[in-house]
Amino acid sequence: MDLSRRHVLAVAAAAPLLQSQANAAAPIADKQAPSFYRYKVGDIQVTVVSDGRNTFPLEESFILNAKKEEVAAALEQAFLPRDMMTIYFAPLVINTGGKLVVIDTGTGPVAKANSKGANGLFADNMAAAGFDAKDVDLVVISHFHTDHVNGLLAADGTPAFPNAEVLVPVTEWKFWMDDGEMSRAPAGRMQGLFKNNRNIFEAALKKKVTPYEWGREVAPGLLAVDSIGHTPGHTSYVLSSGSGKVFIQSDVTNNPNPFATHPGWHAFFDQDADMAEKTRRRVYDMVVAEKLQVQGFHYPFPGLGNVVKDGDGYRVIPAPWNPSI
């Protein structure tokens, strides 16, 4: 004990001397590296491309059926700030060998300006990963929330992927393009979402989309599957090639802390909260049973992991960063 304490004191005393001898003039960096991460599923290459994150104060209204204090306690248990919530965003670029496919597009250039670069980074990070938006063949959309569709447009309002076919879930398309649904939607957030979707899909893309059904491949090796509740047409995917398989969950849960650990908590953004919970438990029981890797749009970057059952909830165990591909 005494010896180790003396050792620590000796190191502490020596440290300033060492620093003065080192090249201490290097500036302190204020930016993270452009964030993208590659891995393979059989012959298919997946590149997870970060769109950034959104951090905001935890409000009483964030989760409808849990008290703010309970949510704060869950965050603290995960070694996170108890009064702040962070949501990450990570679209995918998938190279099937024949097709370059983007799944979801991030919060878009307007959000990048408004958030001062905290999010809306998909286009920049995609370019940093060596991709040209003009080379994208297919853009597959999981559902019509702003963090998934707003990156369909460039800063000047023109299509961000000018040569791509845009694929949308048919049920999602019907809901958001239905004038009756729009007129019945509550004022505020839901009306705003309808307006945003009409602006993107009608005004900018002139309805040039290809609706797709569940149970079909939307791109080579990419099977679309129903995971409704978060929105009426919310879609997940099974990507498979050879013996490789990964479940691309989209928004079955948001950030695993606290939404995987507390699958019964209903966030304000789940449109049909009971159905979203049912889907969450069904999907997570399936990926646990099949030991299937999950790629999560809102998981902390790079968002690949496995799920284990933990009491009434689940825990996501991140896959180790692999320096080789």
Distance between CA 302 and CA 49 in Å, rounded? Answer: 8
In angstroms, give the least distance from the CB of 30 to Zn ion. Answer: 27
Which CB atom, from 172 or from 251, has the smaller least distance to Zn ion? 251
Minimum distance from CB of 53 to Zn ion (Å)?
12
Q: How far is the CB of 190 from Zn ion (least distance, A)?
A: 15
* Cα torsion 132, 137, 140, 144: sign: positive
Measured between alpha carbons, how far is residue 322 from residues 78, 281, 291 in Å? 24, 29, 19
Task: Give the whole-angstrom CA distance, residue 150 versus residue 162.
Answer: 15
Sheet of 235-241, strands arranged across? 217-219, 222-226, 235-241, 244-250, 293-296, 304-310, 313-318
Tokens representing 88? Answer: 């990450």
137 to 156: interface string for Zn ion, x by CB under 5 A: ----------x---------
Q: Tell me how far, at minimum, the Cβ of 148 lies from Zn ion, in Å.
A: 6
Nearer to Zn ion, 96 or 249 (CB): 249
Binding mask 268-297 for Zn ion (x = CB under 5 A): ------------------------------
Give least dist CB 123 to Zn ion, A: 18
Least gap, CB of 82 to Zn ion (angstroms): 23
Instruction: In angstroms, give the least distance from the CB of 231 to Zn ion.
Output: 9
Distance set, CA 232 to CA 165, 266, 325 (Å): 22, 16, 36
With CB under 5 A, what is the number of residues at the site for Zn ion? 2
**Whole-angstrom Cα distance, residue 106 to residue 319?**
23
Between 90 and 287, name the residue whose CB sits nearer to Zn ion: 90
Select 44 or 103, whichever has its Cβ closest to Zn ion: 103
The beta strands (E) that lie in 150-193 are given as 165-169
Is 172 among the residues that bind Zn ion (CB under 5 A)? no
Which tokens sit at 65? 């059926």
**Minimum distance between the CB of residue 254 and Zn ion, rounded to whole angstroms?**
7
**Joined tokens for residue 313:** 């909830």
Shortest distance (Å) from residue 310 CB to Zn ion = 24
Of 95 and 269, nearer to Zn ion (C-beta) is 269
> Which of 241/262 has CB closer to Zn ion?
262
- What character string, x for contact with Zn ion (CB under 5 A) and - otherwise, covers 194-223? ------------------------------
Report the C-alpha gap between 71 and 258 in whole angstroms. Answer: 7
Judged by beta carbon, residue 241 or residue 250, the one nearer Zn ion is 250
Among positions 39, 140, 172, 251, the unique one binding Zn ion when judged by CB under 5 A: 251
Q: Based on CB atoms, which residue is closest to Zn ion, 51 or 147?
A: 147
Name the residue nearer to Zn ion (CB basis): 44 or 63: 63
Contacts 24+ apart (CB under 8 A), 130-133: 131/47, 131/93, 131/100, 133/160, 133/161, 133/162
Instruction: Give me the residues that bind Zn ion (CB under 5 A), please.
Output: 147, 251
